[in-house]
Structure 1
Amino acid sequence: MSLCSFLRLPSQALFVQFILFSLLCLGISNHALANTDSTKRQAFSISAGKLSEVLRQFGLASGLSLYVDSSLVNGHQSKGLSGEYFPQQGLTILLSGTGLDANQQTDGSYRIEARSSITINESSDLSTSIDLNKIDIVDENLAFTQDEQGYNNVFDKNLSSTYVGKQELERFKGSSPADMLSGMLNVYSADARNSGGIDPNIRGIQGPGRVPLTIDGTEQAITIWRGYNGANNRSYIDPNLIGNIKAIKGPNLERNVHSGIGGAIVASTLSVDDILKPGEAFGGELKLEGSNNAVDASVPRLSSGQSYTDIPGFNAQGDIYDPTLYVEPHSGGQDYFDDYAYRLAVGTRQEAFDLMGAYAYRKKGNHFAGKHQDGFYSRGSDNLQDNMIPDMANIYKPGEELPNTSSEMESWLAKAKLKFSDVESLSFGYRDTSTTYGEIFPSRILWERAVNEGVPQWPLSEVNAKAYNVEYELNPETNRWVDLYASVWRTDTVSDTYTAGGYPNEPYDRNASGNTTLRNTALRNAKEDRRGVTLSNTFALMDNLDLTVGGRYQHEKLRSDDRYDPTGGFRMYPKAGRRQEKEMNFNFAWKPTHFISVDAGMRYSSFWTFDDFRKSQLDKGNTSFTNYTPLLGKKYVYGYQETVTRTTTIDDVQSSIDNFETNRAMFESLGIDVDALIQQQLGRVGETTTTVYDRRREATWTPDEDGKYSRDNHPCLNEPSDIDVLRCNAYGQEIGTTTKVTKVKHLKGDGWAPVLSVAMDLNDDSRIYARHSQAYRFPSLFENTVSFSASLPSPDYELKPEHIYNYEVGYVHNLAGLLDADYADIKLSYYYNRTENIIERDPNLSFSNLEKQTLEGIEFQGRYDNGGFFTNLSLAYNFENEVCDEHTAAVLDYLSTSDCVEDGFVAGYLVSMAMPEYTANWTLGGRFFNRKLELGSRVTYYYKHEDKFESNYRDPSAISYYANTPLSWDTILLFDAYASYQLNDDISVELTGTNLSNEYYIDPMSRSAIPAPGRTFKLSLTAKF
């Protein structure tokens, strides 16, 4: 397959192709310079201290790739390094007198070994040029591994981030992909137990495009309907293939990172270095795992094609009751072991190429809930539809099997890297993951019945995700103008998920006299294809000034094999559309003095979307899409009384007098005095009378040109001066004129956003930094195409892009020297995020731009490791989450709802994205018997979710479950522990226990009311060969 056919780039992306090939040609022209020796000296200022810490700082400053066995450097001190040296010369000076030498490996890295153990490689030369862009300090005993460098960057970079390496990922893999983010400060995944994927949330920012998740630079995400519980954005990922995850908080210009307004989740798959030992040419790794607390799911067979009248007990009226979907849940999770996994990976590292392949499989049954601390979830509720959490433990019994929580994953991974030289390479990657997992549409959990009948076990959802990527890197050390990276990638995802809104078994006609044949209206098909290009190059303009320029292109296409059927009851439209996004950016890295560094840059981004499904319906003349009635206002009616006072005139009585005269003979025959009657009428002339009338007057509340309502012109707040209004009520009508839609528009937008960061070293061990960054988030396919959960208020309505203003101040201190430790760091940061024009669902279930959301908090991160004892502590206090919008407040309750509310407005999505106000993660442990045995524990704390509806609204009892009421959680305190033992150089075993207190709880930001797993033990074996 050619590169062009692989990408199938549209004509609008020709400029990206031009830039790509121009930069590649630039790189090729400099190929001859790539292999010459380094002649550039570098300035070093590294204080004396432990040799391990000095080598770490030297690696950061020089960029040399080092492999270090910590047992060789423990106990050694170093005088440090000060002055200008060639990097290799500096390394030699640091190792002098230690009995250690540096031996260059075939991959260009250096292995630090005892002098007597070094085998001289004739081709090795300490003066050989090194890739100074790579910082990869690796220690076989967990001190200087590539993952350790990832942990170091949390404290070394002037932005907020958190990192999880391979060992920690595999240790606390948990029961679902969302557990990979556990322990990462202020980083979460929504709907962890009923989604099969990850929906990232960083510092309360969540949703499509707000926090992109990339795997080896590729991206896949699709928004899924959750019925009355809104929607969530899923990225499907197999934890068994992941080598590390980095979460970057806030918008940034990190090189080759796709960042949204909330930051980015950057995942990397396993690499050759994860499988092979340092210096090893060929090898492999086998990993076996088994856990308890899971039992095989009793998945029902569909009844499609049958008549529901043939199924005893089937009730087709109202909410369908299907007895074929109900099974008796198991109890006693500690006795079931239906959760196992294995992975085989092999690789080779050669002078000219690297190859790696891996196969991974995991099958997990339905997990069991915890048994203790369930009081918050069992206290009961008068109205289950208003709030289901108080009865959750009465439905999902503590210690019982939880239906719809099983999963099965099978994945393949292949990687190849061609090394043309030490400074030039071409890499290829392929990933294929098939996932089958339990899922139930939240709106189909019938809470009134579930207390007595339980929750049905639905059929399983299926997803297949494929990814392809090609990367080219060129970094000739002697050419200051070239440090090139280029990649092309593609992802293809096919999903058949139980998220369409219907039922697994639903009749065509619920009336028994009609068509009673059952069909599946719950299954939704989606095909999502993405393809992209990423480019960047760093120019060393001066010794203290670098310029990095980059670009990114992504094209997304979403379609479905579902047939549009308006008789499908609750089933929503199939979604189909296209979206394109382009970005260009630049960043200057300037160090005006040795203690001040400045980063300044800007990003230009643009997008367009097109609704293919809407166009297909317009082409067919479907009146549901061709005829549109724009809302021009809401009717209100004034109630008032009118008092009328008037004087009687001769004209008022003349008709009576005429009547008496005309009929005088008749009246007198009856003995009536006609003259007296006439005189009586004449006596009324000149009299005054007063009458009170009940009156009504209509008024219209009209929106502005953006469809927004304001209190400024609300009829009830701006009463006419000529009447005394007694009452003002909505008339129950919305005004509009039917309009014919003839064309679907390309919705588009663009914008520039700056990023600025300044850092100052207070001394050799501490520094402060301040950041200001902005970014735009353009509407996603979910928000700009018709389908489920919400819609645009009109076919021509264009949402504005979200615009975030991020401010952050941080303080970092290295305490390693003071505490005589290998690592001892603390980092304290304050953040403030204000997002203007944030896209949200309004009370009319239409997408609109709210005025702003403000998020504010402080974070603390700290670590200590002296080789024998280690601990990590992270704390967060998120003290502000405010959403403001006069339109939404006025529509909900123009009298008493404030323009600004906590967490978000009812019926919107933001209210379900609110983080815990307080959160903490604490790990501690020790290494024994020459590091062969490691014992550790982890404590996780989340403060309870307090329902803000009580304070946000005058009458919170009117807020119902149907309005996306957030699922509250009680205070969560989890205890995990592990014991790892290295049997020999190649084999290790580990026992991990999670939720040791067997607590009953629901994860923060869940959209499906399904408890998390109870106490679980996992035994794993890792063997290298």
Structure 2
Amino acid sequence: MKHKHQGRLRTWRLKTMSLVVASVLYSGSLYAQDTSFAVSLPAQSLQSSVERIAEQGNVHIIYVSEVLQNKKAPALSGQYTVDQALQRLLQGTNLTVQKNGDVWSIVDRTTGDKQQSNATQSGQLDTVKLAPLTVYGQADNPEDQPYLTSGSTVYLSAEQIERHRGTSVGDFLSGIPGVINGDNRNSGSLDVNIRGMQGQGRVPVIVDGASQESSVYRGYNGTASRSYVDTDFISSVSIEKGASSGADATGASGGVVRMSTIGVNDIVLPGKSFGVRIKGGFNTNSSSVPVTGTWGGYNKGVNSRIYYDTSPALETLFSSDGMGRPALLEPTGGSGSIAVAGITEYVDVVAAYARRKNGNYHAGDKGGKEAAHIVSEPNTSSGVYISNGGLSPFRVGEEILNTSFDNESWLLKGTVRLNNDHSLELGWNRYQSEYGEILPTQITNVVAPYQGYLSTIDLNTYTVRYHWNPKNNELIDLRIDTFKSDVDLRVNATTRTYNPKRGIDRMNPSNVFIGSQRYGVTASNISRFLSEIGGFKLEYGGAWTKEDIGYPAGVDESDVTWATRQGTRKESSGFTSVEWKPINWLTLNGSLRYSNFETWDDTDSSRHSADGWSPIASITVEPLKGFQVYGKYGSVLRSPSIFETLKSESFAAGTQNFVEPERAKSTEVGFNYLHESLFLDGDKVRFHAAYFNNYIDDYISRLGASARVNLDYAKMRGFEVSAEYDTGKYFGNVAWNHYTNTKQS
């Protein structure tokens, strides 16, 4: 079966008589011929393994597609040269490896000998004329997969993450259509929004198979769902938009963000068994955190009134502090990390540490009239009314209070290869941060913004990941992920009582302290088989999570302003999905998931539960190689989160009614285009466009300050377009996202 990255046709003449082949060519500089590199391949089709070796070894490998078709390769793990790896993969077959200069070729012994014999008898000893050759580009490139998928997905490599890392963790999401990070300058966390869907499990962030989302009360403005990871520890990110049939996607009505932390291949150079990676950087445009209570921005309490004689002095309109923006190249923040990795025959180990620190940043000068500025308007009583004409209380270049962070992170991972069929990965990741935060109401309701107390997060995540893929067995590709996350979150969101006429200026603690433990298991298996009616891929499995929430260890409830929810939530699910390819240009996908949840509320011993089904279906048509048209529909059940279900003593019990699950119905149509060597030899063009329509029945929201309600519906519709062009040496991309309709009722 030929790969989808089809390129140009060529006719070759070769003097080597046994080399009668079609080709797969991999461009790029070649490593030394005898250089070994780390190989970790599952048991899979022989063509897939060969292509992977070509990619990792950065070499040219030539073969006839039909020769490798329907052949299986054993799992392969360890340090190998290209020649050693190919020899191991071809053991037990009638194929052999030949090398001519910098090119490896895989040929059939029987066919090759027959070709040579025929040529000898006919006297054609000089050359053999080959049929036209089909030339293909790199296979199994994860950056290509979003353009080969019936849906909207994004893949970010470590290089791309580094390119857009910025100063806040969510900056690497910049430029992805339909994806933003909420509260990006607040708390140093990830709260990903996909196509208008965000929070409470609608868009889970999965790191090495683990979820550690925490819901933080934000006063009258609702809640924030936060996940934490240091950017230097991210190896790759895969984002799936809309309904997902993945084993880890229970309740993911908006999409899923899956991250992998760094491994040995991110640190150890090819051919080596040990490596150290050191990264560091600095940034400007920030100031050290001022004393708690420091004022900033526009003082509306004093100045939003009528003046009859002269306008007030500037120092009474705005804070006298905060305008000391540092020089352009003056280091005021920075980050650094060190990672160490080692490879042995049976065990791989990674250890890493990262530190990231930044003060309150200063507002940019591109906001124009949106920044704070004075507006003078005539009043009917002949006076002048002074007010802030901007959307922000802060001026151009002013220090934005409560946006600092000081993070430390640790990572330890070990992978044990039990034999060629099994691997076991153990991981530990710790994240500690002290950061600035203030309730949104304090920005809008108090006379002026002010610096609050700093908040803290201490997170420990433990993971165990198992993979079993036996040799020569297409029916077993088993993955089991288990995790535990411990969260100690202490949000010191102060409020301020300020009445200068009465001499009152008091900082009031508004503490939200949360201690939670989340446990989870996800298991899935993939079986592949051929039949007279086409090829099938069947995936099935299930997931289970449990979350306990209460106060952090050692916290006295009398020190907490807003009583923490206390109780337990469990959710379990089972799913199956099938992919059927009856003919080369048509692919049909369908999946079905059953899920149920139950919560126990410790405050009043109440219970709540619900269950339901989530079907997803898609169809993909490929009329031309590299050009796909698809349609996808999903109906996903999202059960209420632990924050949406449990009660809190902070509010009247009558306002804390039970809510029913959401039902997100999503429709998407789009097309993908992937082509190599379109304008230049070896270049690559990628293009994706999609229209989406999200309609959510019983959308869970808040009514007033504390009541939970199911709205009749919420809907988000829009378009997305992304395009990339890459010559290998130069690259560029553009993206566009537009919402045509957003509404809730």
The TM-score bracket by the shorter chain reads: 0.7 to 0.9
Tell me which amino acid in the other structure corresponds to 2:730.
Answer: F
Provide Cα deviations, 1:279-307, integer angstroms capped at 9, x if missing partner. 321111111211111222234499xxxxx
- Give the Å deviation of 1:745: 1.9
Aligned to 1:66: 53
> Using the alignment, how far apart are the partners of 1:811 and 1:853 within structure 2?
26
- The 5 Å alignment of 1:434-453 reads 434-445=432-443, 449-450=447-448
Asked whether 1:85 is paired with 2:73, we answer: no
> Using the alignment, how far apart are the partners of 1:205 and 1:589 within structure 2?
27
Aligned to 1:818: 678
Aligned to 2:129: none
C-alpha distance 552-255 of structure 1, shift in aligned 2 (>3 A)? closer
- 3-state DSSP of counterpart to 1:486: strand
C-alpha distance 819-402 of structure 1, shift in aligned 2 (>3 A)? same
Query: Number of residue pairs matched?
Result: 636
Aligned to 1:418: 416
- The 5 Å alignment of 1:29-178 reads 47-49=6-8, 62-64=48-50, 65-66=52-53, 68=55, 81-82=65-66, 85=69, 102-104=83-85, 149-178=141-170
> Using the alignment, how far apart are the partners of 2:69 and 2:444 within structure 1?
72
C-alpha distance 382-198 of structure 1, shift in aligned 2 (>3 A)? farther
Asked whether the equivalents of residues 52 and 70 of structure 1 are also in contact (C-alpha less than 8 Å), the reply is: no
Asked whether 1:293 is paired with 2:285, we answer: yes
Tell me which amino acid in the other structure corresponds to 1:813.
Answer: Y
> Using the alignment, how far apart are the partners of 1:491 and 1:297 within structure 2?
30
> Using the alignment, how far apart are the partners of 2:320 and 2:89 within structure 1?
60
Between structure 1 and structure 2, the one with the greater Rg is 1
C-alpha distance 839-113 of structure 1, shift in aligned 2 (>3 A)? farther
C-alpha distance 191-517 of structure 1, shift in aligned 2 (>3 A)? closer
Aligned to 1:531: 519
- 3-state DSSP of counterpart to 2:162: helix
Asked whether the equivalents of residues 590 and 598 of structure 1 are also in contact (C-alpha less than 8 Å), the reply is: yes
Tell me which amino acid in the other structure corresponds to 2:404.
Answer: S
Tell me which amino acid in the other structure corresponds to 1:521.
Answer: P
> Using the alignment, how far apart are the partners of 1:327 and 1:790 within structure 2?
39
C-alpha distance 845-88 of structure 1, shift in aligned 2 (>3 A)? closer
Aligned to 2:668: 808
> Using the alignment, how far apart are the partners of 1:456 and 1:875 within structure 2?
37
Asked whether 1:185 is paired with 2:177, we answer: yes
> Using the alignment, how far apart are the partners of 1:524 and 1:787 within structure 2?
12
C-alpha distance 422-257 of structure 1, shift in aligned 2 (>3 A)? farther
Provide Cα deviations, 1:8-55, integer angstroms capped at 9, x if missing partner. xxxxxxxxxxxxxxxxxxxxxxxxxxxxxxxxxx67687453999865
C-alpha distance 747-69 of structure 1, shift in aligned 2 (>3 A)? closer
> Using the alignment, how far apart are the partners of 1:763 and 1:442 within structure 2?
52
Provide Cα deviations, 1:420-477, integer angstroms capped at 9, x if missing partner. 2232111101101111111122222366632xxxx32222111111100111111113
> Using the alignment, how far apart are the partners of 2:88 and 2:652 within structure 1?
54
Aligned to 1:252: 244
> Using the alignment, how far apart are the partners of 2:652 and 2:178 within structure 1?
31
User: In proportion to residue count, which structure has more strand?
Assistant: 2
Asked whether 1:218 is paired with 2:210, we answer: yes
Asked whether 1:838 is paired with 2:699, we answer: yes
Alignment counterpart, residue 402 of structure 1, candidates 383, 400, 414: 400
C-alpha distance 55-72 of structure 1, shift in aligned 2 (>3 A)? closer
C-alpha distance 374-760 of structure 1, shift in aligned 2 (>3 A)? same
Asked whether 1:555 is paired with 2:556, we answer: no
Aligned to 2:133: none
- The 5 Å alignment of 1:452-463 reads 455-463=449-457
C-alpha distance 426-517 of structure 1, shift in aligned 2 (>3 A)? same
Structure 2 stretches of 5 or more lacking a match?
10-21, 28-43, 74-80, 92-96, 110-136, 295-300, 302-318, 378-386
User: In proportion to residue count, which structure has more helix?
Assistant: 1
Provide Cα deviations, 1:217-274, integer angstroms capped at 9, x if missing partner. 1111122222233222111222221112221101111355556000111111111111
Asked whether 1:594 is paired with 2:584, we answer: yes
State the identity %.
26
> Using the alignment, how far apart are the partners of 2:342 and 2:498 within structure 1?
54
Asked whether the equivalents of residues 108 and 422 of structure 1 are also in contact (C-alpha less than 8 Å), the reply is: no
Asked whether 1:352 is paired with 2:346, we answer: yes
- 3-state DSSP of counterpart to 1:762: strand
Asked whether 1:332 is paired with 2:320, we answer: no
Asked whether the equivalents of residues 5 and 676 of structure 2 are also in contact (C-alpha less than 8 Å), the reply is: no
Provide Cα deviations, 1:680-705, integer angstroms capped at 9, x if missing partner. xxxxxxxxxxxxxxxxxxxxxxxxxx
Provide Cα deviations, 1:393-415, integer angstroms capped at 9, x if missing partner. 5x422112222111111111011
C-alpha distance 251-113 of structure 1, shift in aligned 2 (>3 A)? farther
Aligned to 2:113: none
Alignment counterpart, residue 784 of structure 1, candidates 632, 635, 645: 645
- Give the Å deviation of 1:483: 1.3
Provide Cα deviations, 1:580-631, integer angstroms capped at 9, x if missing partner. 111110011111112211111200011011222x23xxxxxxxxxxxxxxxx
Asked whether the equivalents of residues 231 and 789 of structure 1 are also in contact (C-alpha less than 8 Å), the reply is: no
- 3-state DSSP of counterpart to 2:417: strand
Alignment counterpart, residue 341 of structure 1, candidates 335, 338, 356: 335
| RMSD of Structure 2 on Structure 1 (CA) | 4.0
- 3-state DSSP of counterpart to 2:363: coil
- The 5 Å alignment of 1:720-869 reads 744-787=605-648, 793=654, 797-820=657-680, 821-843=682-704, 845-869=706-730
- Give the Å deviation of 1:819: 2.9
Asked whether the equivalents of residues 610 and 745 of structure 1 are also in contact (C-alpha less than 8 Å), the reply is: yes
> Using the alignment, how far apart are the partners of 2:466 and 2:623 within structure 1?
39
Provide Cα deviations, 1:338-361, integer angstroms capped at 9, x if missing partner. 212111111112221111111111
| More off after superposition, 535-544 vs 483-492 | 535-544
> Using the alignment, how far apart are the partners of 1:226 and 1:794 within structure 2?
17
- Give the Å deviation of 1:126: 13
> Using the alignment, how far apart are the partners of 2:736 and 2:339 within structure 1?
37
Provide Cα deviations, 1:310-342, integer angstroms capped at 9, x if missing partner. xxxxx9xxxxxxxxxx99325233253121211
Asked whether the equivalents of residues 227 and 789 of structure 1 are also in contact (C-alpha less than 8 Å), the reply is: no
Alignment counterpart, residue 230 of structure 1, candidates 218, 222, 225: 222
Alignment counterpart, residue 239 of structure 1, candidates 231, 251, 274: 231
Asked whether 1:487 is paired with 2:481, we answer: yes
Q: TM-score, normalised by structure 1?
A: 0.57
Aligned to 2:380: none
Asked whether the equivalents of residues 46 and 68 of structure 2 are also in contact (C-alpha less than 8 Å), the reply is: no
> Using the alignment, how far apart are the partners of 1:523 and 1:844 within structure 2?
17
Asked whether the equivalents of residues 327 and 456 of structure 1 are also in contact (C-alpha less than 8 Å), the reply is: no
Aligned to 1:305: none
Asked whether the equivalents of residues 284 and 346 of structure 1 are also in contact (C-alpha less than 8 Å), the reply is: yes
- Give the Å deviation of 1:576: 1.7
- Give the Å deviation of 1:116: 5.8
> Using the alignment, how far apart are the partners of 1:372 and 1:855 within structure 2?
29
Aligned to 1:880: 741
Asked whether the equivalents of residues 785 and 791 of structure 1 are also in contact (C-alpha less than 8 Å), the reply is: no
C-alpha distance 79-813 of structure 1, shift in aligned 2 (>3 A)? farther
- Give the Å deviation of 1:391: 3.7
C-alpha distance 341-181 of structure 1, shift in aligned 2 (>3 A)? same
Tell me which amino acid in the other structure corresponds to 1:329.
Answer: G
Asked whether the equivalents of residues 256 and 536 of structure 1 are also in contact (C-alpha less than 8 Å), the reply is: no
- 3-state DSSP of counterpart to 2:145: helix
- 3-state DSSP of counterpart to 2:266: helix
Tell me which amino acid in the other structure corresponds to 1:775.
Answer: V
Alignment counterpart, residue 276 of structure 2, candidates 255, 278, 284: 284
- 3-state DSSP of counterpart to 1:178: helix
Tell me which amino acid in the other structure corresponds to 2:370.
Answer: F
Asked whether 1:209 is paired with 2:201, we answer: yes
